[in-house]
Structures are given as C-alpha cells and as structure tokens.
Amino acid sequence: MAQNNPTWHGPFSLENDVVNRELDLYLKQKNVKDPLIGAYVYGEKDLNQKISPVYIGRSDSDLRQEIKSRHTTDRKFKSCTHFWYCVLDSEEEAYAVESKYYHMGYKLNDKHPKKPDNNDTVKCPVPGCEYHE
Ligand SMILES: [Zn+2]
C-alpha cells in the first residue's frame, strides 16, 4: 500500500558530507543498512530566505547515491541549497510518493516520474493523470 504521508526528514544543507552524515544517522537509528529506497526533495531559498521545495525525485535502488549525484551532475540544480528525504518500503511506494508530489507542480520537474523498472502495472495515485489508469 502506498503511504499517504511519508515521514520527511530535513531540511538539511545540500552538501554531500551532510547527506552522508544524515543518512548514516538514519541507518544507525533504525538499525538498517544501505541501500535505501526512498524519495527526496531539493529546495532553494526564496527572496525572504525561506526554503521552498523545487524538485522531487526518488531512488528505487540507492537513495543516498541519488541525492548526492543528481545535484552535482545537472546544472539546473545549482540554485538548490537544501534537501529533505523519506525512506519507503518499496519501489511502488517511492513511485507513488514521487508522483503525488510531482503533481503539486515543483518548478524543476519537467516530466512525469518514470515507472519502476520491470513494473509496468503500478499506477500514479493522482486521479485524472494519464498514468492513473
Ligand atoms: Zn501522475
């Protein structure tokens, strides 16, 4: 079952040593190991120094690597200063969370989330979406 309200952690500074520190802390607290499945949000500061979410992503295979590599390999994220993350139980849940937030309209997301590899039956949870049925 897709979670309606994932537990988000953050915002934290979007630096790779901070990503490692926070994910290490999570692993220790939950007594689990990498790799984690989950979703993440990048944020940037607006004119009032408020941190606003601007991009939603997910990883079905290694959340830590995804958070660290995505913002360093694509220049469109250069304004991003912070991140949040949530850990999820399955790639289906990660897809559902990513899709739900995608439909809220984050400015750096330009296309609908891809379905998990080898899982074409999973559906976007948002009614009216072309991937909902
Ligand atoms: Zn959708």
- Domain holding 45: CATH number? 3.40.1440.10
- For residue 47, being part of any structural domain is answered with yes
Residue 107 in domain: no
Question: Where in 18-124 does DSSP place strands (E)?
Answer: 37-45, 51-59, 82-88
Confidence of residue 118 (pLDDT cuts 50, 70, 90): confident
Domain count, the chain: 1
By percentage, how much of the chain surpasses pLDDT 90?
A: 91
Contact by Cβ (8 Å): 95, 56: no
> How close is the Cα of 47 to the center of ligand 1, in Å?
30
- Residue 15 is which amino acid? E
Does position 98 have pLDDT exceeding 70, yes or no? yes
Instruction: Tell me if 95 is assigned to some domain.
Output: yes
Task: State the residue range of the domain holding 52.
Answer: 9-102
pLDDT at position 4 is 60
Residue range 15-57, pLDDT digits in tens: 999 999 999 999 999 999 999 999 999 999 988 999 999 999 9
The C-alpha atoms of residue 62 and residue 65 are separated, in whole angstroms, by 6
Question: What are the angstrom distances between the C-alpha of 62 and each of 38, 58, 97?
Answer: 8, 9, 16
Q: How far is the CA of 80 from the centre of ligand 1 (A)?
A: 24
Q: Is 125 a member of any domain? A: no
